[in-house]
Amino acid sequence: MNNVRNVRNIGINRNASRLFLIIVVVVLVIGVVSSAIVFVPPDQAGVVVSYLAEGGYRKQPIYSGLHFVVPILEHVEKYSISRQTYTMSASTGEGQREGDDSILARTKDGQQVYIDASVIYAIAPPKVVELHINWQDRYAEGLVRPLARGIIRDAASQYGVEEIVSSERSKLESSITDQLSTKMAENDLTLVDFILRNIHFSDEYAAAIEQKQIAEQQALQAQFVVETKKQEAEQARQVAQGQADSTVINAKGDAEARVVQAEAEAKANQLIADSIRGNPELISYLYIQKLSPGVQTIFVPSGNQFILPLPDTTTQPTPTTPTVTP
């Protein structure tokens, strides 16, 4: 009986060992298979580090999807190929570093300025292998940051402080963008955009600028007052000129009217003279017309004849017929 039991125990132990061995093999197989299959997300690219390839990596990167690698002998380093932003700012919490991370630069005229900027960039997907070889995951702090700060300082030194904050700011930004784009392309990165966020100064210089701006505004106000007075004077001059022109025009009109009236009177007198020459009695008639309507008697000196026959002013009584009463 004991021998039978021993045989059974040995069989059970053997079966258990086989089962354990099978489980271990299955787990190893699953582990090997899973390590051989790599999934790359759409926003990433992968560099296959390989002990089998020359130089220790595959020459071509892998992109979105499933890929097979040799377990243990190969693995994949993934890099984001989406856009990234590196900000350097004086305001806490805006940039990649805590505290004041603005770029201190000196202008052509020796003034210190502090520049806040953002660099928007991306890894060039075909260049991800070279980027891995040269920078690994240090490209943001080791490449983008020092490259941008150096180019910004050099560009700012080409302009005066007043040019930077006014007329030449866009040129400064364009110059930095062009230089930064070229340098980043040489280092396997693509510049998407450069943003010149802000330019600020020391407190002393800011106060001096403010005083200058106030003085300029006051000068502009004074100039505006002068121009206003000039316009008012010009307006008054034009009104006076208009009045003078109107007086001249009125005077000319009156003179012309008098000339016309004189010509008309001359023509009328000529007509009267012609009429008198042809009819002498007309003078007596006009004389009578000019006499007062109430004049009934005219006295003339003795020995002088009457100018014209006077009308009969005596009133003859009207004869009456006697009424006969039958």
Q: Tell me: pLDDT of 68 over 80.
A: yes
Task: Say if 172 falls within a structural domain.
Answer: yes
CB atoms within 10 A of CB 69: 20
Do 92 and 153 contact (CB within 8 A), yes or no? no
Model confidence at 231, in pLDDT bands (50, 70, 90)?
Answer: confident
The set of residues, in sequence order, having a beta carbon less than 8 Å from that of 324 and lying 6+ positions away, is none
Per-residue model confidence (pLDDT) at position 286:
63
Q: Tell me: pLDDT of 167 over 70.
A: yes
The total number of residues shown for the chain amounts to 326
Q: Which of 8-22, 110-124, 250-264, 287-301 has the lowest mean pLDDT?
A: 287-301
CA distance 296 to 316: 16
The tokens describing 285, both together, are 């008639």
Tell me, yes or no, whether 231 and 136 share the same domain: no
Report the number of distinct structural domains present in the chain: 3
Do 54 and 64 contact (CB within 8 A), yes or no? no
Q: What is the CATH number of the domain that holds 102?
A: 3.30.479.30
Greater pLDDT, 303 or 227: 227
Instruction: From residue 173, give the alpha-carbon distance in Å to each of 31, 111, 114, 160, 169.
Output: 53, 18, 14, 14, 6
Tell me, yes or no, whether 162 and 235 share the same domain: no
Task: Say if 321 falls within a structural domain.
Answer: no
Tell me, yes or no, whether 177 and 88 share the same domain: yes
The average confidence (pLDDT) of the chain is 80
Tell me, yes or no, whether 159 and 246 share the same domain: no
Tell me, yes or no, whether 179 and 125 share the same domain: yes
CA distance 119 to 62: 27
Q: Which of 80, 105, 131 is the last residue of a domain?
A: 80
- Measured CA angle at 58 (ends 29, 63), to 5 deg: 80
Task: Say if 324 falls within a structural domain.
Answer: no
User: Furthest-apart CA pair in the chain: how many Å?
Assistant: 213
Per-residue model confidence (pLDDT) at position 326:
43
Rounded to the nearest 5 percent, the helix, strand and coil shares of the chain are 55, 20, 30
Give residue 244's Cα distance to chain centre: 46
CA distance 272 to 268: 6
Task: Say if 288 falls within a structural domain.
Answer: no
Tokens 């953002």 correspond to 118
* Residues 91-135 pLDDT 10s: 888 888 888 899 999 999 888 899 999 999 999 999 999 999 999
Tell me, yes or no, whether 166 and 115 share the same domain: yes
Q: Tell me: pLDDT of 13 over 80.
A: no
Domain limits for position 185: 84-201
Q: Which of 80, 107, 128 is the last residue of a domain?
A: 80
Tokens 């190969």 correspond to 74
Tell me, yes or no, whether 116 and 176 share the same domain: yes
Q: How far apart are the first and last CA of the chain?
A: 213
Q: Which of 36, 55, 80 is the last residue of a domain?
A: 80
Tell me, yes or no, whether 148 and 179 share the same domain: yes
Tell me, yes or no, whether 197 and 212 share the same domain: no
Instruction: Provide the 3-class DSSP secondary structure of residue 134.
Output: helix
CA distance 152 to 104: 9
What is the residue-wise DSSP string for 22-69? HHHHHHHHHHHHHHHEEEE-TTEEEEEEESSSGGGB-SS-B-SEEEE-
Tell me, yes or no, whether 183 and 258 share the same domain: no
Q: Give the mean model confidence (pLDDT) for residues 249-255.
A: 78
Do 123 and 190 contact (CB within 8 A), yes or no? yes
Tokens 């000039």 correspond to 230
Name which of 147, 91, 97 is nearest 119 in CA terms: 147
Do 282 and 275 contact (CB within 8 A), yes or no? yes
Strands 84-88 and 112-123: antiparallel
Task: Say if 290 falls within a structural domain.
Answer: no
Q: Give the DSSP H/E element, type plus range, for residue 236.
A: helix 203-278
- Please state whether 275 falls in left (phi above 0), alpha (psi between -120 and 50) or beta: alpha
Tell me, yes or no, whether 89 and 76 share the same domain: no
The set of residues, in sequence order, having a beta carbon less than 8 Å from that of 4 and lying 6+ positions away, is none
Tell me, yes or no, whether 148 and 171 share the same domain: yes
CB atoms within 10 A of CB 176: 22
Do 112 and 105 contact (CB within 8 A), yes or no? yes
